[in-house]
Amino acid sequence: MTYIKINFSSNFEDEFQKVVDEVFHLVRPSFRNYECVWRPNIDVYESADEIIVLADMAGLNKEELHIEVDRRKIKIAGIRKAIQLLQNARYCQAEIPHGHFERNVYLPGPVDSQSAQASYADGILMVRTKKLPVNEAHRVSITSEK
């Protein structure tokens, strides 16, 4: 059985519309006119000296993206806005997801977060980071105590 969650927030009309749309979607799956959860597709590549993360972000402006990098993961978040319909138009089929998203990409090895660079072109976000040496030993000198 599918449950419909009703959450009365500050904008009752929007929430009510989402619930009504969900009911129609249950009856006819091609009907979808509400903000839904989406997860952009992500590829992770590794070379000898860097890790590259590609994310499919079609329909977003780069100003709507937020990227955080630490030693072991990259967090990519943002909002894809709904496509505005023409006046008096109705959906016959709606599959393009929109709304807030957040992806945490766990990296295959530690990276230098200060070296991270991001670029965005043709709907693809690319984040490049330099790898940190995994097995690099640091020699410690011994001093005498007096």
pLDDT at 34: 45
3-state secondary structure 18-76: HHHHHHHHHHCCCCCCCCCCCCCCEEEEECCCEEEEEEECCCCCHHHEEEEECCCEEEE
Letter for the amino acid at 14? D
Q: How many CB atoms lie within 10 A of CB 33?
A: 17
User: Where in the chain are the domains?
Assistant: 1-34, 38-80+91-131
Note the pTM of the prediction, 2 decimals. 0.65
38-80+91-131 is classed CATH 3.30.1510.10: no
Mean pLDDT, contiguous 10-residue spans, the chain (146 residues): 54 68 65 61 94 92 91 92 76 79 91 93 94 76 76
pLDDT at 55: 95
pLDDT at 35: 43
